[in-house]
Structure 1
Amino acid sequence: MSKEAALNTEEHLLAEIAWEVCNQVGGIYTVIRSKVPTMVNKWGKNYVLVGPYAKKEASTDFEESEFEHPILKEAINNCREKGLDIRCGFWLVSGRPKTILFNYHSVFHELGNIKYYYWQDHSIDFNKHDPLLDEVLAFGYMVHLFLSELTRVALKHKVKPIAHFHEWMAASALPNLRRDQVPLQTVFTTHATLLGRYLAMNDPQFYDHLPFMDWLKEAQYFNIEANVKLERACVHGAHVFTTVSEVTGKECMHLLGRSPDLILPNGLNIERFSVLHEVQNLHHEYKQLLEQFVMGHFFQSYSFDLGKTLYFFTSGRFEYLNKGYDLTLEALARLNHRLKESNSPFTVVMFFITKQPVHSINPDVLNARAMLDKIHANSESIVEQIKQRLIRQSASSQGDHKLPNLNDMVDDYLKLRHRRIIQSWKTNELPPVVTHNLVDDEKDEILNFLRTSNLVNHRDDKVKIVYHPDFISSTNPLFGMEYNDFVRACHLGVFPSYYEPWGYTPLECLARGVAAVTSDLSGFGDYMKNVDIGDEKHGIFIVKRANKSFDESAEALCNIMLNFIQNSSRARIDMRNKSEDLSECFDWKNLYSAYEKSYIKATETLF
């Protein structure tokens, strides 16, 4: 294949199938949604997304409309005549892609036959009840019928169809399409292996043990044998098999029995993040909002210099080992010791933003924030009273124009209220490390580490912890801002993952002008080795975890954070601006070429 080879999108029709089309579940939603504008621009009318009909999401994000595209229109109508419940229209995101959603509940009565034929044709036994597998199989059944019909109609119009499946949940139609020898070219992308995620969460030496693992034995141990066999059938049924990183590629070879043909790195629609180099102004604006939370949370117990305070954070699913929370906590404990030992003037406030079962927000945390709001309101009343009286006195003064005693311009009532609010707010208790009442407080791994290491927000601690076991939104009474704005308010994102097939969070930091730490075991961190400007000057820090002990990696992460703190304010501002430039390398406009190569490779594959 020559470097100049390009796909004629007028002669092909691309259907991209994913469980997270118009259905936000995890990271693939970001992949599909952010890629849409580039795909629509490249493919025009011959691009369509296919996903499950999720009523709640579809009610707000989907606009039903019949297609005028002759091939899609005929294929959909033919399938409807066969009894399939198909919704077509537009996904209301940038690019407004044509979207087809299948109501898989409408074919649940076929599940017995679907499972029987899977056992007969592919030796996969679905005898154990699994609600998710039922949904996956029903969806795959509908996709199989639709793509078979779409292929027949497309070839009649002399258009060659390509189907790109993302993850095993969306690709259960693939093995049957190959069995039936449907003349459809297929690409399958795995964003993470199902078995790999289970193993990494339970084996601290996962990567060392990976070459020696028996995939079937391990799948049976975790009670996911049918799921893993289905995933393997999808991988081996595709004409072209791809994954998102070299790290995951090695995992696929050992656990799925096939090495990827191509690597398709994940990107972002950078235009959504672009603020025309206003990153520093936005950082300052949102940092002031974050400081309101910090004052409410900490200053009732003691204060520290906000001018010398840096805000670090990590976020994502609660996977204590996989996400590197264990390594982050150990490095923070070491950082706290070293900052105290050197009598550093700096304070670090570290936020853990994740999702855990909770009863409610801690009433004390809510009350502290509410009391700070009262201080604000009373202070504004005092300022307004002083302002009015000062203007009046200044205008009427005859001789002496000195500034009067401003304290005399405040009514005793406001002074008394001010003292009472402050007195009722102040406490000798330590600021809580967790903002919510957890359902299982005693077994929470983050809290247990903090208690064991005595990193519990003592007055003399240089590293303060805020563990927020819920995602941030503008309706959150503690922060009062969107998650994206919270990220812009911070100085450093910390994501030293142990198991992360790609990892969007550090990339999203860079796109918002925030420096980020990743690891060489994450797909994103591994890919950074191929990026010329993927260095610390451009805001990306890579912790080496491959072939390193936990202790070595923790010390390396501690050093990264310490060096970041010791940077000058000017250096951090330069880094903030340059990180935007680095994020441009991951614009879908630049990364689409890898996808095009996979489609070209699929069209060159003989049946």
Structure 2
Amino acid sequence: MQVPLPTPEAISPDALLVEVAWEVCNQVGGIYTVIRSKVPATVLGWDDRYCLIGPYFTQQAQGEFEALDDYAFNQLPADDPFAAAVRQMRAEGYEVCYGHWLVTGKPRVVLINPYQVYDRLGQIKADLWNHHGIPTPDNDDLLHQVEAFGHQVKHFLHLLTNAVVPPKRVIAHFHEWMTGVAIPDLRRDQVPVHIVFTTHATLLGRYLAMNDPNFYDHLMQVNWAAEAVHFNIETAVRIERAAAHGSHVFTTVSELTVRECIYLLDRIPDAVLPNGLNIERFVALHEFQNLHQLYKSKIHEFVMAHFFQSYSFDLDNTLYLFTSGRYEYHNKGFDLTLEALARLNYRLQQSGLEGQVVMFFITKRPFHSINPQVLQSRAILDEVQETCEAIERQVGERLFYAAAASTDHRLPDLDALVDDYWKLRYRRTLQSWKTTNLPPVITHNLVDDANDDILNFLRRANLVNNRHDRVKIVYHPDFVSPTSPLFGMEYGQFVRGCHLGIFPSYYEPWGYTPLECVARGVPAITSDLSGFGDYVMETVPDHEAKGIYVVKRQERSFDESAEELTEMLWNFVQLNRRERIMQRNNVESSAELYDWKNLRVHYDRAYALALERQ
């Protein structure tokens, strides 16, 4: 029997919760998914005692934010402390928007324009230096936005605490260094707010991991100040450190990042806050299996357009694997994935097993355009389909008439039922489509093709979609979206259509991509150097039976990890259809473990701890 989780009302019935993040109504990074997906569960517990604060950027906000008009704003209760603080800021001449985020739960949101205090930037920067030893260069607009925003957030929270009538108290939860700039001044000015600060990944840790293949071995010897200067991120790192030390409760997202915080920020986190998702549950198991079939058929269409102009293979005996995420070749484990795929390709060629594997790399890289050859192939295949459907209609009508009028029971010559026009069009369309060229491994023309790590590995390994290759590669250096002429579907739909996600990261403070697979009933591979993988190993017994595989990378050589990943892939491709369906059922049934409704309790406990500290 599951023990009921404590609710925020039981922990802190007299508290207001303000969550501050750069990604509120502003999709610029992974924290956006954390905040947005957590909103429904947070609203469920905190209701009208909850409000978010973010920066106001017109273009980003217009599709996600619904501002209250003057009439609706004036109808708000006089004792609404959030509205009272907004009124006061507006009376002082600030541009402050108050309304709702257009996501499930429709939480209250305050958006503040960073640019409106740019005339005070000189003083803001001088105060950061004089009071907290944080220098700011003159030519970094992101830092200017962050510091201007933080200055205004501090003022808003000061007004909010003035508007709150005791015994009510205010908890302010700041995410990442970009909002943490407000924390040191809040403490210096003794604003009566209980501060929680979460670093999802230390800024310096991310830079070091990208540039040091032995990052974890060298972590204890890092000179943070020298490295921050070396990577030209001194201001951001000093803001992050000041926020970590100024908060009443300092948190991070996984046990892995606890080590980073200790050695790079010099503070042991008070709590670990694992991240979740809103898990979409279905009444019947067959429903998500049907969705898998539906979206797999759309991937089939892409694969036919991409490969069948050169050669064909049995789509019913083809597995779709993918990886996705920010383009960090080493950190995201793209290097390990490619090595394992090359080894898997060799094993399949030697084994005599039937079937193909198509591997998709979905990431974001600068490109000029979609490869015209890829685009043209898709367009001609669409024309082939239209021609076939026209012939199908014509044959169907004439066959029906012939059957009704026939005096014998033999099938008529179907070729004679097709007009010469359609025969000619069918032949010419296929002739213009078929080619002897190999299918390209990349769908777009990159800005710097010659120095792309993925492409260079594929060239060295000769993994370039040869007919005899059993592992085919599709490198798609752009996000999957419904507006894409190649896929024409949402990323989540694409995930559902695949058979396995591969994310063996070397550096991943949490890792949403495997979690997104699990939420959609798709098996996934992660690593013990990702926060999610570490969490799974600690909390989910027999996780492989539930479709979550964890590659060991801690204290393992690259070759050892590559061989383990190859073995996982080898075992997976040998599963039969029935076994894969059973595995997807197991994945779907375990997904609720990662629902925010269950994981929100970690946040609520951090808030309760903050209220205990002055």
TM-score, normalization by structure 2: 0.96
Q: Specify every segment of 5 or more residues in structure 2 that has no aligned partner in the other structure, as ranges.
A: none
Q: Following TM superposition, by how much is the alpha carbon of 1:275 offset from its aligned partner in structure 2, in angstroms?
A: 6.8
Task: Please give the per-residue CA displacement for 1:93-118, whole angstroms capped at 9, x wherever unaligned.
Answer: 10000000001110111110011111
Q: Where does residue 508 of structure 2 map in the other structure?
A: 500
- Is the counterpart of residue 231 in structure 1 residue 213 in structure 2? no
Three-state SS of the structure 1 residue aligned to 2:590 is: helix
- Residue number in structure 1 paired with 2:353: 344
Q: Aligned partner of 1:380: which letter?
A: E
Please tell me whether residue 81 in structure 1 is matched to residue 91 in structure 2.
yes
Counterpart in the other structure of 1:556: 564
Which shows bigger deviation, 480-489 or 348-357?
Answer: 480-489
Cα deviation for residue 571 of structure 1 reads: 1.0
Q: Which piece of structure 1 moves more, 433-442 or 127-136? A: 127-136
Aligned match for 1:530, one of 517, 521, 538? 538
User: Is the counterpart of residue 113 in structure 1 residue 123 in structure 2?
Assistant: yes
What aligned pairs does 1:152-551 form with structure 2 within 5 A after superposition? 152-154=162-164, 156-271=165-280, 274=282, 276-277=284-285, 278-398=287-407, 400-533=408-541, 535-551=543-559
Q: Give the equivalent residue in structure 2 for 1:33.
A: 36
Q: Distance in 1 between matches of 2:88 and 2:294?
A: 55
Distance 1:308 1:144 in 2: 59
Aligned length: 601
Amino acid at match of 2:603: Y
SS at match of 2:484: coil
Q: Deviations along 1:550-580, whole A, 9 cap, x unmatched?
A: 0011111111111000012111101111111
The 3-state SS of whatever aligns with 1:538 is coil
Q: Does 1:566 align with 2:574?
A: yes
Letter of the 1:105 counterpart: Y
Counterpart of 2:27 (choices 24, 29, 45) is: 24
Q: Is the 8 A contact 1:71 1:157 kept in 2?
A: no
- Aligned partner letter, 2:609: K
CA shift for structure 1 position 57: 2.1
Q: Secondary structure at the match of 1:352?
A: strand
C-alpha deviations, 1:563-600, integer Å up to 9, x for none? Answer: 00001211110111111122210111100110111011
- Deviation track 1:125-166 (CA, whole Å, cap 9, x = no partner) reads 113421111000000000011111111221x35311110111
The equivalent residue for 2:47 is 44
3-state DSSP class of the match of 1:60? coil
Which residue is 2:56 aligned to?
53
Closer/same/farther in 2, CA of residues 534 and 24 from structure 1, 3 Å limit: farther
Aligned partner letter, 1:582 = S
Q: Distance in 1 between matches of 2:214 and 2:500?
A: 28
- In 1, Cα distance between equivalents of 2:590 and 2:203: 31
Measured in 1, the distance between the counterparts of 2:332 and 2:86 equals: 42
For 1:344, the aligned partner's letter is: L
SS at structure 2 position matched to 1:474: coil
Residue equivalent to 2:161: 151
Residue 83 of structure 1: how far off its partner (Å): 2.4
SS of the equivalent of 1:590 reads: helix
Change (3 A) 1:276 1:27: farther
Q: Separation in 2 of the partners of 1:373 and 1:8?
A: 59
1:404, CA displacement in angstroms?
Answer: 1.6
- AA aligned opposite 2:593: C
Q: Deviations over 1:511-543 (max 9, x none)?
A: 111111100000000000122346122111110
1:555 aligns to what SS in structure 2? helix
Distance 1:378 1:533 in 2: 53
Equivalent-residue separation in structure 2 for 1:510 and 1:319 (angstroms) = 23
Q: Corresponding residue for 1:95?
A: 105
Question: Secondary structure of 1:537's match?
Answer: coil
Structure 1 residues 276 and 151, CA gap change in structure 2 (3 angstroms):
farther
**Which letter does structure 2 place at the counterpart of 1:532?**
V
Whether contact under 8 Å (1:533, 1:582) holds in the other structure is no
Amino acid corresponding to residue 17 of structure 2 in structure 1: L
The letter for the 1-side match of 2:117 is V
What is aligned with 2:81? 71
Letter in 2 for 1:360: S
Change (3 A) 1:190 1:492: same
* TM-superposed deviation, 1:482: 1.5
Matched position secondary structure for 1:93:
coil
Task: Return the alpha-carbon distance in structure 2 between the equivalents of residues 50 and 275 of structure 1.
Answer: 36
TM-score (norm 1): 0.97
The answer as to whether partners of 2:498 and 2:522 remain within 8 angstroms in 1 is yes
Q: Which amino acid aligns with 1:96?
A: K
Maintained 8 Å contact 1:274/1:511: no
Whole-Å separation in 2 of the counterparts to 1:515 and 1:5:
32
Question: Which amino acid in 2 is paired with 1:320?
Answer: Y
In terms of mean alpha carbon deviation, does 56-65 or 317-326 score higher?
A: 56-65
3-state DSSP of counterpart to 1:536: coil
Instruction: Name whichever of 528-537 and 483-492 sits farther off.
Output: 528-537
Gaps of 5+ in 1: none
* C-alpha deviation, 1:402, in angstroms: 1.7
Counterpart residue identity of residue 99, structure 1: V
Query: Which shifted more, 52-61 or 554-563?
Result: 52-61
RMSD: 1.4
Contact 2:7 2:45 in 1 (8 A): no
**Matches of 1:437 and 1:507 in 2, distance apart?**
31
Which segment is superposed worse, 280-289 or 532-541? 532-541
| Residue 577 (structure 1) aligned with residue 571 (structure 2) | no
**CA offsets 1:299-324 (integer angstroms, 9 cap, x no match):** 11111111110000011111111111
Out of 419-428 and 558-567, give the one that drifted further: 419-428
Distance 1:104-1:335 versus aligned 2 partners, 3 A rule: same
Judge conservation of contact 2:11–2:604 (CA < 8 Å) in 1. no
AA partner of residue 56 (structure 1): Q
Instruction: Determine helix, strand or coil for the equivalent of 1:558.
Output: helix
Cα deviation for residue 503 of structure 1 reads 0.6
Q: Tell me, in whole angstroms, the C-alpha distance in 2 between the residues paired with 1:201 and 1:219.
A: 14
Deviation at 1:270, TM superposition (A): 1.2
1:473-523, CA deviations, whole angstroms, 9 ceiling, x for partnerless residues?
111111121211111110000111111100101010111111111000000
Amino acid in structure 2 at the alignment position of 1:560:
M
Equivalent residue letter for 1:543: V
